[in-house]
Amino acid sequence: MKLFPSLSALRMTRRRMTALRVAIPAAMLAVAGPVLAQVTVTAPWVRATVAQQSSTGAFMQLKSAKAVKLVSVSTPVAGIVEVHEMAMDGQVMRMRAVPALELPADKTVEFKPGGYHVMLMDLKGQVKVGDTVPLTLVFEGADQKRETVQVKATVKPLGAAMPMDDHGGHGGHQH
């Protein structure tokens, strides 16, 4: 399932970006979390890949002042982006796409290896340590209003074990 924002959402994003650029000094935009946003994204990072690897995960902590849903994530480095959860299927841990992840008010939702993650698939190239990966997250409130948050994720080494090698739960994805 592709989670691309609708055309109207994109237009709104562009307008908001312009407004942000005017309102906030450039130095503040470099900070990981958004400054004016309802939703705070903390410590975003992406797991580095080896050559020819077609997918990886992005991780972060999300917190919203009011209940919202994460309805879309996109990045220029991947053709397909999905929010995944890990769930037991009998004895096997599998990944499952979550089309709209609920963020309860004032509660931190952690994306981490072995749990929720943003799955970056159909990678355009190798993701290397030292790279920065821009991520655009779109949240929707109960009032249907959308908020776009843009972050720059740092790339960290393969390091932490993550059950990403089990692609059994990825029916329909190309690798």
Instruction: Give the interface with Cu ion as residue ranges (CB under 5 A).
Output: 84, 95, 119
CA separation, residue 30 to residues 9, 27, 34, 100 (Å): 23, 6, 9, 27
Rounded to the nearest whole angstrom, what is the least distance from the CB of residue 97 to Cu ion in the complex?
Answer: 8
Rounded to the nearest whole angstrom, what is the least distance from the CB of residue 30 to Cu ion in the complex?
Answer: 29
Q: For Cu ion, which is the closer residue by CB, 69 or 84?
A: 84
Q: For Cu ion, which is the closer residue by CB, 37 or 135?
A: 135
Classify residue 103 as left (phi > 0), alpha (psi -120 to 50) or beta. beta
Rounded to the nearest whole angstrom, what is the least distance from the CB of residue 94 to Cu ion in the complex?
Answer: 9
Amino acid letter for position 76: P
Q: For Cu ion, which is the closer residue by CB, 95 or 101?
A: 95
Q: State how far the Cα of 112 lies from the Cα of 135, in Å rounded to an integer.
A: 16
